[in-house]
Chains A and B, each alone.
Chain A
Amino acid sequence: MRALNKLDEEGQLLLGVVRELMGKYGESYWNKMDESQSFPEDFVKEFMKLGLGAILIPKEWGGGGKGVREASLILREINLLGGNSYFVHGHYYLTAMLVRCAGKEMRDWLFPEVVQGKRVMTLALTEPEAGSDSTRISTLAERQGDRFVVSGRKVFISRISHTDYFVLVARTKRVDEVRKKTEGVTLFLVDANVRGLQMRKIRTMSNTDAYELALDKVEVPEDRVIGEVDRGFPCLLKTLNAERVMIAAELLGNVRWFLEKSVDYAKRRVVFGRPIGANQGVQFPLAEVYARLLALEELLDASVEAVEGEEERRAGEMANALKYLSAELAWDAANVAMDVHGGYGYASDLGIERKLRETRLYKVAPVSQNLALSYIATAVLGLPRSY
């Protein structure tokens, strides 16, 4: 796999660290976390302690100076070893955002904290009335002297009870006050225990630690603005492309996991006097998953390079194509694994149904499959927009 082969020595060593860490947090740990809908705090704590949360921070602040490639492959590794990288991926795409967009002053105080293990795991973007159409958010940040006062509501906000800081996306100009709707959006770095923030946990199909937030006159000092006031959207967009590639890598990790489990089971499970893997009805879906996986593992490499490059359209095209195809493949692979395992797949012990539920999330998040296709149709193929 090219994405893996291009890793340097340190990148390979970091993957070794992840493998050893996952040796301590095997499938039964993740099954247990899922059963009790618990945040895998022990795992995340150790992940941060090992410095894996600091890989994207530049070396001059004591970080690893790594990029989207290493982050993606680490997340993939966690998933292919039976874990759920959902609980750390936010920290990766948000530190990628901060490296790209935070000003010098913020870098100087924040990055050493991240190197010490502080977490930035949550993006508060989605609102009850604005999901895919993110420029329509109505959370408003009004300047009052040297601070902003923010009020509004957010929904499906992940991991906020286990993060130190979160990135809040708010309008500093109402949508009807700007020429282009992407203007007037500002990104803020906010303390998770800030006054005026209320949260309510949302029970979801898999273990997501997701919340609904109510922000009531939350005060954020002006030096907590990430990048420039009113000009947060381009930064957000670039981050979302990196996020899509990282999540696609996780999904490809899940595909490998489903495939390995299923192939192994199909060789061992004997029905009517022969292994079920001898039946073409079992073989062909597995072979098809593998063939599609090979193609997407190659696309992952090209996508990593595109999102790390400067050409925005190319990055958007690759990130959306990869995320769309990976989410489709992972969902198909999950269902093939369920079929191959029969009743044992439906039972909770093997973790197949857990992984299936975890995989389903990515057909709707972080961007819906339709919206990924819509981007390719309109921004790449030049077809007229329906919205």
Chain B
Amino acid sequence: MLADLLIHPRLVRVEVGLNVVVGFKVVPDETLIKVSSGKLDMNVAVKISTYDKNAIEEAVRIKESTGGKAIGVTVGNTDRKTIREALSMGVDEVVAISTQYTDVLGTATAIAEEVRSMNPDLVLFGETTTDGSTSGLGPMVAEFWGVPVITFAKSIKLDGKVIRAERSLTPVVEIVETELPTVVTVTGEINSPRIPTLRQIMESSKKPVRTKEFKSSPMASLDSVEPYLVQRKRIVLEGKTEEVVQKLIEALRKEGAL
């Protein structure tokens, strides 16, 4: 046993109690948004932004494997039910920062302020949100906090205070390594977010949610949101499957889709 430890010194390095902050955004459920009379109907149910769920899952996995803590931070819409969903997934507590409309810079400022006060080992975000889609939040928080950032991570491995990540940069995968603390944004490939159980949902009601307010003057204002409509070509290919497949490939090539 002792010989093993001497030969493989990494075996004795135990990752103890990593504290992870995970940012998640409450966004309109894009699958429910409809266009009516040329306008977007945004008055729909909200949800945790798709890739932020991957970030939450990763934070909870790290917490579970190292015995640390996972703290959620959300800025903007602080819908209580959606916050409880994050808590049900395993986040220990949430800091809910309500604000009027703010741009990504304002959100980054608010989160960086929290992160500085919490001084975690790792901050995770989704690669982008399904509403703003800037992919800018992670890098901005890292800059304000003064730590490295790894974006578009499709896998991360922790070895003590060293983090190694595979970055998904279609068509290449880049492997990078840095030391904690750091900020990482994750892609959808990194994991399959868990579905909370009844018990986790019920226990989530006891977990703390700290509410705060943040006032900012956005550097960029949102003037309007217009639907982007794609006219379907309505081409129907008829015939035997084997012939139609060939025709479909040709048609897609002609359109430049292949």
Contact = CB atoms under 8 A, between A and B. Distances in A.
Interface of A: 9-10, 12-14, 16-17, 20-21, 49-52, 54-55, 59, 62-64, 268, 270
Contacts of B84: 9, 13
B201 A62 contact: no
Given A9-B80, A9-B84, A12-B81, A17 B201 contact: yes
Given A9-B81, A16-B85, A52 B198 contact: yes
7 contacts: A9-B80, A13-B84, A13-B196, A14-B198, A49-B197, A51-B198, A63-B198
Shortest 10 CB-CB distances between A and B: which pairs? A51-B198, A51-B197, A20-B195, A13-B201, A50-B197, A9-B81, A64-B198, A12-B81, A17-B195, A51-B199
Interface in B78-103: 80-81, 84-85, 88
B202 interface: yes
Contacts of A14: 198, 201
Interface string B214-246: 000000000000000000001000000000000
A20 B196 CA distance: 10
Contact of A50 (B80, B85, B195, B205): B195
Q: Which of B80, B195, B196, B197 has the most CB of A within 10 A?
A: B195
B130 to A, nearest CB: 16
A13 B149 CA distance: 33
Interface of B: 80-81, 84-85, 88, 195-199, 201-202, 205, 234
A16 B195 CA distance: 9
Interface of A is mostly: helix
A337 to B, nearest CB: 21
A55 B80 CA distance: 21
Contacts of A54: 198
Contacts of A64: 198, 202
B255 to A, nearest CB: 19
Contacts of A49: 197
B36 to A, nearest CB: 13
A13 B88 contact: yes
Contacts of A13: 81, 84-85, 88, 196, 201
A261 B81 CA distance: 29
Q: Which of B85, B198, B234 has the most CB of A within 10 A?
A: B198
B121 to A, nearest CB: 29
A75 B90 CA distance: 26
A51 B199 CA distance: 7
B141 to A, nearest CB: 28
Given A13-B88, A270-B234, A50 B81 contact: no
Nearest to A20: B195
Nearest to A21: B195
A271 B199 CA distance: 52
A207 B84 CA distance: 37
A329 to B, nearest CB: 24
Contacts of B201: 10, 13-14, 17, 51
Q: Which of B88, B197, B201 has the most CB of A within 10 A?
A: B201
Contacts of B196: 13, 17, 50
A20 B84 CA distance: 16
Q: Which of B80, B88, B199, B205 has the most CB of A within 10 A?
A: B199
A12 B80 CA distance: 11
A59 B201 CA distance: 13
B90 to A, nearest CB: 14
Nearest to A49: B197
A13 to B, nearest CB: 5
A270 B232 CA distance: 12
Nearest to B204: A13
A268 B236 CA distance: 12
Nearest to A18: B195
A14 B84 CA distance: 11
Given A9-B84, A12-B81, A13-B85, A62 B199 contact: yes
Contacts of B197: 17, 49-51
B50 to A, nearest CB: 12
A97 to B, nearest CB: 20
A268 B234 CA distance: 8
Given A13-B201, A21-B195, A49-B197, 11 more contacts: A10-B202, A12-B81, A13-B196, A17-B195, A17-B198, A20-B195, A50-B195, A50-B198, A51-B198, A54-B198, A62-B199
